Structure 1
């Protein structure tokens, strides 16, 4: 796993729990405790976590949006390639629900080429990318903006989703595990994704290869609840992603159409 990818997951695990030990991070990421300590030092230097005895807790940096902003540029080229691959699988004329996340921002950039589309978005970041794009009818799902991520969550978001029906849900995900299925770091985000799954004819999940084999803290759905999954080709390389091939096999066995971009 590359350093940037590992820092991404480490930050999200710290933020997702509020407090996590070096030993647990080592187990979840499949790296040595010495590597975890170095990564936590890097994140602390950036103002994103605070080291405590035996582990770390999240902290606010000077930038209120540090969570999203810190990850936005990590693996940007890979995420842009995934965004293009996802957009190609969205039919013009569709009613699309677009999830929050750094990867779906890149999906949004490529969706304009698939117009006309009606796109409901679950984050302020994707709304900004799609505003005023020709051929895109933009709907911003109401709700509470989650600090640090600007994803739209809470009872208002859930009620809005329950009143709408979509042809396609483009779902980002924090972790995908052979046994635990699709998992997310935030309970609020997990609830919104569950509503999106229930209200959509078809769900297309997207995540870079670092998310394969990761067990986040809230189960969203079993593997078979998703129709297709787009990830990068590194997912099939056991040397860089030991859990990748096993997870891809579990997805295919569950009937998920897997695409490597």
Structure 2
């Protein structure tokens, strides 16, 4: 029975990796024929059709007349399908440093970021915990974990980010008071967190105001990206965890504005507190 479960997990992992690669290829080239994709990934056209149907349902591309066509690059880059494959080593570093900031017995909000997903896989060692999230991927990841009391926030489901959002979700968040909120961001401009979707900002803002402590997880590439909707300046967070490739000048600038920066160690993933230099 365990073998069947492992086989299913392996198949889904391969499928997810292939779909991420397909979305990146289509976005890079603008349009790709289905037979080209089948040849490129060494699989049948029927399998590619199924992959494209899923990606189209998530709003990441359009399939028509045997051709996959790219949609908005900002939407693709906001999707969890795309984000999961980006900066994986950096996310693992940050995850190991961030999990050390969690205290047993706490109630924590977790957002829809793939960096937080990496960290969530480490939190069984910090149980008991109450985890509050609107993210279906996290709910499925943690639902069978011993020692975790899981609070699933409902609402309107958005396939592109695997999350529940909207007024119902925000209303539920506003009735909760958590010890901490752990999140990431799509981009940092002028030392402010930005996102592509206003709906995403609305959910994160509600969690931000309903938590006693706010922890931001940021890999170095976020300082080079731009997005449309602002959430909060980095100085509003209690802790900002960055990876080892973050530029010293970015860390120094944040520290000069009284931002508590924790730098994840490249080898161990443990944290180096750079608040004091």
TM-score, with normalisation over the residues of structure 1? Answer: 0.71
User: 1:181-234: per-residue Cα shift (whole Å, max 9, x none)?
Assistant: 111111111111111111111100012111014331111012221111112111
Q: Which residue of 2 aligns with 1:123?
A: 135
Q: Is 1:256 the counterpart of 2:268 in the alignment?
A: no
Matches within 5 A, 1:52-91: 57-58=71-72, 67-91=79-103
2:209 aligned residue (165, 189, 198): 198
Q: Distance in 1 between matches of 2:131 and 2:31?
A: 37
Contact 1:43 1:49 in 2 (8 A): no
Q: Distance in 2 between matches of 1:233 and 1:43?
A: 34
Decide whether aligned partners of structure 1 residues 58 and 158 sit closer, same or farther in structure 2, where only a CA change above 3 A counts. Answer: same
Structure with higher Rg: it is 2
Q: Distance in 2 between matches of 1:67 and 1:58?
A: 11
- Structure 2 gaps, min length 5: 1-19, 38-51, 53-59, 63-69, 265-277
User: 1:53-75: per-residue Cα shift (whole Å, max 9, x none)?
Assistant: xxx7338xxxx9x9322332333
2:240 aligned residue (225, 229, 232): 229
Decide whether aligned partners of structure 1 residues 110 and 219 sit closer, same or farther in structure 2, where only a CA change above 3 A counts. Answer: same
Q: Which residue of 1 aligns with 2:231?
A: 220
User: 1:234-260: per-residue Cα shift (whole Å, max 9, x none)?
Assistant: 112xxxxxxxx4433332233221112
Contact 1:145 1:151 in 2 (8 A): yes
Q: Distance in 1 between matches of 2:240 and 2:196?
A: 19
Contact 1:162 1:195 in 2 (8 A): yes
User: 1:123-176: per-residue Cα shift (whole Å, max 9, x none)?
Assistant: 111111111101110111122222211122110111011000011100111112
Q: Is 1:247 the counterpart of 2:250 in the alignment?
A: yes
Q: Distance in 1 between matches of 2:233 and 2:87?
A: 27
Contact 1:203 1:227 in 2 (8 A): yes
Decide whether aligned partners of structure 1 residues 155 and 136 sit closer, same or farther in structure 2, where only a CA change above 3 A counts. Answer: same
Contact 1:180 1:215 in 2 (8 A): no
Q: Is 1:181 the counterpart of 2:192 in the alignment?
A: yes
Q: Distance in 1 between matches of 2:173 and 2:252?
A: 32
The two structures, once aligned, show a CA RMSD in angstroms of 2.8
How many residues of Structure 1 are paired with residues of Structure 2 in the alignment?
Answer: 208
Q: Secondary structure, in 3 states, of the residue corresponding to 1:234?
A: coil
Of 213-222 and 86-95, deviating more is: 213-222
C-alpha displacement of 1:180:
5.3
